[in-house]
Amino acid sequence: MSTPVQLPVTWAPRRNRAVLLVLSAVLVTVFTVIAFALPDNWQLNDRVAMVFSGLVFGAVGLMLARPRVSADAEGVTVVNFVRSRRLAWPEIVRVNFRQGDPWVTLDLADGTALAAVGIQPGGGREQAIEAARALRDFVDGHVPVA
């Protein structure tokens, strides 16, 4: 069994993030090199479009590398691909991570669910399970203020 997790803590698929950051840099570099290596009959706007394409693909890679879940004494911050959301502890009813789920899902007090993509088995199934259990323990251990 691992050591208990202490607040504040951040969970993120680090291996995925490292691969995506490197891939984004490679895409921008390759498209830029291709833009300058094009034959002379290619115009400036074609070259600019190649560099722009590399920047767009790199930006998509950076967006895919964003997900993380951070917990502190006041609550949880869930950062997904495009949006982030701050939740106070009482807003989280349950932490779900069933076998086959792509990531953790948080059941919220308002009846909705929120995907917490930062805790996913892509970076290692056991690490994701441990992170989900730790988050569940924090949610279960929170005593609402009366």
Mean pLDDT of 25-37: 96
Strand-by-strand arrangement of the 104-108 sheet:
92-96, 104-108, 113-116
- How would you class 124 by CB atoms within 10 Å of its CB: exposed for 0-12, middle for 13-18, buried for 19 or more? middle
pLDDT band (50, 70, 90) for residue 146: very low
Gap between the Cα atoms of 91 and 85, Å rounded: 12
Rg (CA), the chain: 20
**pLDDT, tens only, 94-121:** 999 999 999 999 999 999 999 999 999 9
Q: What is the number of other CB atoms lying within 10 angstroms of the CB of residue 27?
A: 19
Q: What is the number of other CB atoms lying within 10 angstroms of the CB of residue 130?
A: 16
Among 75-79, 86-90, 124-128, 135-139, where is mean pLDDT lowest? 124-128
Query: How much of the chain, in percent, has pLDDT values that exceed 70?
Result: 95
pLDDT for 48: 96
> How many angstroms separate the Cα of 18 from the Cα of each of 39, 65, 115?
34, 8, 21
**pLDDT, tens only, 50-80:** 999 999 999 999 999 999 999 999 999 999 9
The pTM (predicted TM-score) of the whole model is 0.84
